[in-house]
Amino acid sequence: GENVEQHPSTLSVQEGDSAVIKCTYSDSASNYFPWYKQELGKGPQLIIDIRSNVGEKKDQRIAVTLNKTAKHFSLHITETQPEDSAVYFCAAKRTSYGKLTFGQGTILTVHP
Amino acid sequence: SAVISQKPSRDICQRGTSLTIQCQVDSQVTMMFWYRQQPGQSLTLIATANQGSEATYESGFVIDKFPISRPNLTFSTLTVSNMSPEDSSIYLCSVEDHHAVYQETQYFGPGTRLLVL
């Protein structure tokens, strides 16, 4: 089955800096890669996703890149703000296969 | 995107008892899932809730411990049976929204925080 590795486990940045979280996956047939943000006491919130027919997707300060050859994808947050502090999870799946496999999570702390 | 609600939002239970968690979605969805998130950990899929048939359980999870109902396309329940402190976790309902062919997106509810004493 699919295996997703996520790094780093914790990330601390100053407000205004950029943050990058990286994930690798094992199943070359995976073609859907979402990212979730989980704030304390809340459920995971989908913040951005990418499908294997594109290499990069951007939404304001958030971007995701995908390298299918190397089987890795990354989340980029620019101009970080204290409200970006949360746990971030990457995931991977084959479209229409039904099961998301999650990474271990990254605790992002943005210091004012 | 689908709006998901869960009840209760949190509970404290005694070992040996059972708790039923409800999940309600604001639109009809084909796929509903139940996840467990142990403290400080990632999300683990318990089962897929199938409408009109028995749930499909992942390895390590059994129907006797986690019975699931899915009476229609907007509602599901998960019961945590004969609880022990090891069952203390966040339980999350999730749905898959098919907004186009091969364009499904998965959303999560707010979770139910369970503490077993």
Give one DSSP letter per residue of B65-86, joined into a string.
Answer: TS-EEEEETTEEEEEE-S--GG
**Residue of B3, B43, B90 to mutate, interface with A, max A Cβ within 10 Å:** B43
The pLDDT score that the predictor gives to residue A8 is 98
Q: Hey, CA dihedral for B88, B22, A99, A38, is it positive or negative? A: negative
Local confidence band at A94 (pLDDT 50, 70, 90 cut-offs): confident
How many angstroms separate the CA of residue A12 from the nearest CA in chain B?
17
pLDDT for position B59: 94
Contact A43 B1 (CB under 8 A): no
Interface of B with A in 74-103 (CB under 8 A): 92, 96, 102-103
Beta-strand pair A101-102/A86-92: antiparallel
Distance from CA of A62 to the nearest CA of B (A): 18
| Contact across the interface for B109 and A32, Cβ inside 8 Å | no
Q: Residue A81: pLDDT above 80?
A: yes
pLDDT in tens, chain B (117 residues): 789 999 999 999 999 999 999 999 999 998 899 999 999 999 999 999 988 889 999 999 999 999 999 999 999 999 999 999 999 999 999 998 876 666 788 999 999 999 999
Place of tokens 């971030």: A88
CB contact under 8 A, B92 and A43: yes
Residue A9 — pLDDT band, cuts 50, 70, 90? Answer: very high
Question: Residue B27 CB: number of other CB atoms within 10 A?
Answer: 12
Angstroms from A51 CA to nearest CA on chain B: 9
Contact B48 A98 (CB under 8 A): yes
Res. A54: pLDDT tops 90: no
The token duo for B90 is: 């966040």
What confidence score (pLDDT) does residue A52 get? 80
Does the distance separating the beta carbons of A34 and B104 come in below 8 Å?
no
Q: Categorize the per-residue pLDDT at A36 as very low, low, confident or very high, splitting at 50, 70 and 90.
A: very high
For the cut 90, the answer to whether the pLDDT of residue A19 exceeds it is: yes
- Separation between Cα atoms, residue B22 and residue B20, nearest integer Å: 7
Burial class of residue B39 (count of CB atoms within 10 Å of its CB; 0-12, 13-18, 19+): exposed
